[in-house]
Structure 1
Amino acid sequence: MAKRGCLHRLIAWCSRTFSDALGLCAAAAIGIVGGLGIYTLGYSGFTNYLGNDPTTCAQCHAMTEQYDGWLRGSHKNVATCNDCHAPHDNIISKYANKAENGFMHSLKFTLGNYPENIQIRPHNRQVTEAACLYCHADLTDQIRNDANHRGENLSCIKCHDGVGHKR
């Protein structure tokens, strides 16, 4: 006798699990929540956020100032938002960071508590600092190994905070 496929086992499990009234209500709730979630993701254009186009980051009014500053800044022709604001160590941490930031942005907009003057969160500050060191390793290695700075935890954006987003 041939083994039943995964799809057949899933259908059999669903038939057993959702056969009574409570099961049907649970199935309907799962369907409604799942459907609304898929609709919301599609409506929001979430697939745009998987790419590197800076105009995606400027879709909301909160990032207009940062986008305009990037257009005037020295990094416009050499770096996109992800080059400075997403981890460079591996693709999983890059997209995990993007997902977490996207969730937090959506949550703040949905709840209406997005500040007018946005501030970088501590984790994102660390990501941005790491990006500076990644792209400018030759220069930063010289600075960090200089006798005046050896052993110090230097911050690039403490002095150069307007470089990516010219003010």
Structure 2
Amino acid sequence: MEWKKYLASNTLKLILLGALAAVVGLAIAGGGIAYADKASFCSSCHSMQHVAATWQVSNHRQFTCGDCHLPQENIVNKMMVKGQTGMHDTYHEFLRDYSDTIPISAKGKSIVNGNCLRCHAYTVGNTFMSTGGQDCLKCHRGMIHNQIVIKEGVPVE
């Protein structure tokens, strides 16, 4: 057969071509994942524009949406949650049935609390918060997204 002869004489070239395709594919996937973590992606939906505007004027604006709202333990868990919440948000964006104040789910609250404590572990180390099971959002709910009211694109304090 002709193709067996072709494979035998071009094996190294085909392996290198496959490796190059894998590297390009991983780079594209990594770029897509990084872009999907940013506020520019998240705020592209109408219902998230106010959320992104309040975040932009907060003292946490240097972090991406995914830094706070996605688990950071490992990439597999992060991508699973990103897929689930992405489908949920797209569904409700399509139906236009989000309320003015988007509620956070119990799972989302757990993820956000874990990320608060991950970044602020030293700060809460000598407080009652260090015992675990505490709710950062109970006292700091409006710290990022409801801290400043946005009217007509201008922050109002």
TM range (shorter): 0.5 to 0.7
Alpha-carbon distance in 2 for matches of 1:138, 1:56: 31
Q: 5 Å matches for 1:124-143?
A: 124-143=108-127
**Secondary structure, in 3 states, of the residue corresponding to 2:125?**
helix
Cα distance change of structure 1 residues 112 and 164 upon mapping to structure 2, 3 Å threshold: closer
State whether residues 69 and 112 of structure 2, in contact with CA within 8 Å, keep that contact through their aligned partners in structure 1. yes
Cα distance change of structure 1 residues 109 and 66 upon mapping to structure 2, 3 Å threshold: closer
Deviations 1:123-163 (A, max 9, x none): 1011000000111111122213xxxx675632111111122
Alpha-carbon distance in 2 for matches of 1:49, 1:140: 34
TM-score, scaled relative to structure 2: 0.65
Match of 2:40 in 1: 55
| Superposition deviation, residue 112 in structure 1 | 4.1
Identity, in percent, stands at 28
| Superposition deviation, residue 110 in structure 1 | 3.2
- Aligned pair count reads 116
**Secondary structure, in 3 states, of the residue corresponding to 1:163?**
coil
Consecutive unaligned residues of structure 2, counting only runs of 5 or more, are 1-29, 149-157
Cα distance change of structure 1 residues 67 and 49 upon mapping to structure 2, 3 Å threshold: farther
Alpha-carbon distance in 1 for matches of 2:40, 2:116: 22
State whether residues 49 and 56 of structure 1, in contact with CA within 8 Å, keep that contact through their aligned partners in structure 2. no
Moved more, 149-158 or 134-143: 149-158
Consecutive unaligned residues of structure 1, counting only runs of 5 or more, are 1-46
For the pair 1:102 / 2:86, whether they are aligned, the reply is yes
Match of 2:67 among 83, 104, 109: 83
Match of 2:52 in 1: 67
Match of 1:154 among 126, 131, 134: 134
Match of 1:92 in 2: 76
Alpha-carbon distance in 2 for matches of 1:150, 1:65: 32
Alpha-carbon distance in 1 for matches of 2:113, 2:101: 21
Match of 1:163 among 135, 143, 148: 143
Q: 5 Å matches for 1:28-39?
A: none
| Superposition deviation, residue 50 in structure 1 | 2.0
